[in-house]
Amino acid sequence: MSDTTILIVDDEPVILASMSKVLAPSYSVRAANSGGRALTVAGTDPRPDLILLDVLMPGMDGYSVLSRLKEDPTTRDIPVIIVTAMEAEEDEEKGLALGAVDYITKPIKPAILLARVKNHIILKQVRDFLRDKNAFLEAEVARRMEENQIIQAVSIRALAHLAEIRDPETGDHILRTQSYIQVLATRLQGHPRFNDTITDHFIDLLTKSAPLHDIGKVGIPDNILLKPGKLTDDEWAIMKTHSELGARAIEQAERDVERPVEFLTLAKEIAHWHHERWDGSGYPDGLAGDAIPISARLMTIADVFDALISARVYKPAMPFEKARDIITDERNRQFDPDITDAFLACFEEFVVIARKYQARD
């Protein structure tokens, strides 16, 4: 006997017995003599693989049973063949419209019954196979995407640490600025100026990209990058090239892949322009206002705040409140005014982030 289960629903014992006799040699047969009983049996194990459903039954007729079966997520995918003595075309159409897969009229011919049942069992097995296959493929795709995301995150962090290794005083700067920029961007979601740009997807890309903002420092000579005192004008001119060096390095990485990578686009913007100023007095290109990409404007505040509160060989760490006041004073000069306001609104969150990582500097 097959593991395939057929549920026969009919209020006439003779019909139940005759169909069971035909099907039992090939299938496991369950029977129900009413609509209510059919719903109970259909919802219990072993679940039927196919239901043969009589239409004219006292109480709940076959159409009502079919509707209930299709409403229930646990039974809606079980194929149902309507079995009835009615031959009117509209009755057949009604059953099919409610979700029946086929229609057999009484009196039942054993050969036709077996053929129809076999065909629909095969179709169900194919559908189940494809569903399971699709579920497996979707799970595999999700697993590989997650793996790729992990590899990507690790690769980004490794590249960022190259710059950090060259400048060991920065400690967990990349972790702090990454967290700051995520908080800041989230605060600005829904703001009229940024509503079309700062989406959940943008924030995800921005957070991934942020650690690469100072990657260009790997190209700055040690005697300048690690100098404990104030830089000369010539040395400062060389130091400022790190933004363009970083952007060019990321641009080269873009050329090495076959299609655009979104987070690299933002990483390049941040690396290139996070030292620009709202009033146009920054570097390397003297961009002003909205000409500075949003990603770079967000990083500017995150980067400056972290630089102010971090100890260096040439300066002590500044109190959080004093750093806040300096940024407030630079509103509409160094910083986008709306982004500055967002910073002030989430200042306490910045402090929490700073304290979280500051102990490891």
Categorize the per-residue pLDDT at 84 as very low, low, confident or very high, splitting at 50, 70 and 90: confident
- Residue-range definition of the domain harbouring residue 190: 167-358
**pLDDT at residue 278 greater than cutoff 90:** yes
Give which of 313, 301, 293, 306 is closest to 344, Cα–Cα. 301
By mean pLDDT, which of 34-43, 151-160, 172-181 is the weakest? 151-160
How far from each other are the two terminal CA atoms of the chain, in whole angstroms?
A: 72
**Left, alpha or beta for 337 (phi > 0: left; psi -120 to 50: alpha)?**
alpha
Q: Of 136, 156, 187, which one is at a domain's C-terminal end?
A: 136
Residues facing 81 on adjacent strands: 52, 102
**pLDDT at residue 88 greater than cutoff 70:** no
Predicted confidence at residue 5, as pLDDT, reads: 94
Predicted confidence at residue 131, as pLDDT, reads: 84
Q: Of 119, 136, 153, which one is at a domain's C-terminal end?
A: 136
Specify the higher pLDDT residue, 89 or 137.
137
**Count of structural domains, the chain:** 2
- Please indicate, yes or no, whether residues 99 and 204 belong to a single structural domain of this protein: no
Categorize the per-residue pLDDT at 359 as very low, low, confident or very high, splitting at 50, 70 and 90: very low
Tell whether 151 is covered by a domain. Answer: no
**128-142, 203-217, 288-302 — which one is most confidently predicted on average?**
288-302
The percentage of the chain sitting over the pLDDT mark of 70, rounded to a whole number, equals: 89
Predicted confidence at residue 219, as pLDDT, reads: 87
Average pLDDT, the chain: 87
**CATH number for the domain harbouring residue 115:** 3.40.50.2300
